[in-house]
Structure 1
Amino acid sequence: MFLNAKLETDRLIIRPYKIEDIDQTYAVVSEKDFYQYIPEEIPDREGVRKIIEWSITQNQKNTADKIYKFNLAIIHKEDGKIIGYCGLGPDDLGMGETEIYYGISSQYRKQGLALEAAKATLEYGFEVIGLKKIMAFADYRNLPSLKILENLGMKYHFRISHLQEELSDFEGQCYYSLTAEEYLKSL
């Protein structure tokens, strides 16, 4: 379910990271503005290596009842390149929910590929893993990401505010969610 996962769409293959993905992944995440709306530090190449090694370890621990982190590489079928990432994991604010996330290379944006990857990940979360609810955070200024969440059928609930100092990077993030029941009704 996690170690050998392979999600496939018309244009994408989405799979767990392998150690040999370091350079292609670093090329994507080091693009100018890739982290514009992501409240994290931009990793250097060594940081990407550590994230990938950590992701592999997390996939070995993941179960349907507890997802530690399910980081996936997005590969463009046409050119065989890693063009981004997506996945499922514990929400960054510690609310005890499962969060969907995604990011895609600037040269592959505005083609519906991020939506395609997010939709496949959402489907996998509900249909294969059996999650009851999936949520997402998106910066209120990140209009393309907000549109993706809406196109996934996720519902907007509120904008995050009044956070403690250590979580202040998430101030202004929009909270969206979708339950398995809502997902099934939309099919």
Structure 2
Amino acid sequence: MYRNIRIETERLIIKSFTKEDLHHLHRIVNDVEMMKYVPFAKERTLPECKKLLDRILKRYTESTSNEFKGFLLLVYLNYSNECIGFVGLFPLTYDTINTEIFYGLFEEYYGKGYATEIGKAIIQFTFDQMNLDKIVATVNKDNEVSKRVLSKIGMNFDYIIDKEVTEGSSYDGELMYSISKYI
């Protein structure tokens, strides 16, 4: 259902991975700065990334509006077609009723408003094209830049995630933000 996502903004193209995107995925998961706060993958070698890419592509077809399993998308500059990062939407690991947005940019694209543009576009897509009424985001308490981005895209701080509530997940002390369609 989500195999051919393509979202265009003023400066960006946000779209589904394809089989040809192995080099982009490999670059992303091996970028230490990007993975600092978004360690979604442990895969680092090309063969490991090939398996991860296969799982990403499979998830596009497994997700439905009734059973959303999540997806990752690549982000490109629309004028040069240069890959600048990624954005993902996945059910929250410890509370699958909620869908979490997360993103990462290569460091050379920091401070240009791209994260805000990505977040606004994904929120609009989620509310307009998917059957979701709420999006959440978790952020490390020390990640001041992402906290500002979440505020700029309309998300509000809800609470500090308690490890006891999230047993079996890697969350502990992160901050929970959310935005609802009907507020």
Counterpart mapping for 1:12-51 below 5 A: 12-40=12-40, 42-44=42-44, 45-51=46-52
Match of 2:6 in 1: 6
TM value normalised by structure 1: 0.88
* Cα offsets for 1:14-61 (capped at 9, x unmatched): 111111111122223312322112354542133332222111111112
TM value normalised by structure 2: 0.90
How many residues are matched? 181
* Cα offsets for 1:108-130 (capped at 9, x unmatched): 11111111112111110001113
Superposition deviation, residue 140 in structure 1: 0.8
Match of 1:109 in 2: 110
CA distance in 1, matches of 2:81, 2:66: 33
Counterpart mapping for 1:66-85 below 5 A: 66-85=67-86
CA distance in 2, matches of 1:86, 1:59: 14
Q: Is the 8 A contact 1:30 1:42 kept in 2?
A: no
Q: Which runs of 5+ in 2 are unaligned?
A: none
CA distance in 2, matches of 1:39, 1:5: 23
Q: Which runs of 5+ in 1 are unaligned?
A: 183-187
Distance 1:19 1:175, change over 3 A: same
Q: CA RMSD in A?
A: 1.8
CA distance in 2, matches of 1:21, 1:143: 31
Counterpart mapping for 1:130-141 below 5 A: 130-141=131-142
CA distance in 2, matches of 1:80, 1:39: 25
CA distance in 1, matches of 2:87, 2:172: 22
* Cα offsets for 1:93-150 (capped at 9, x unmatched): 2342111111111111111111111211111000111311111111111111111111
Match of 1:148 in 2: 149
CA distance in 2, matches of 1:8, 1:69: 20
Q: Is the 8 A contact 2:4 2:16 kept in 1?
A: yes
Q: Alignment partner of 2:34: what SS? A: coil
Q: Which has the higher helix share?
A: 1
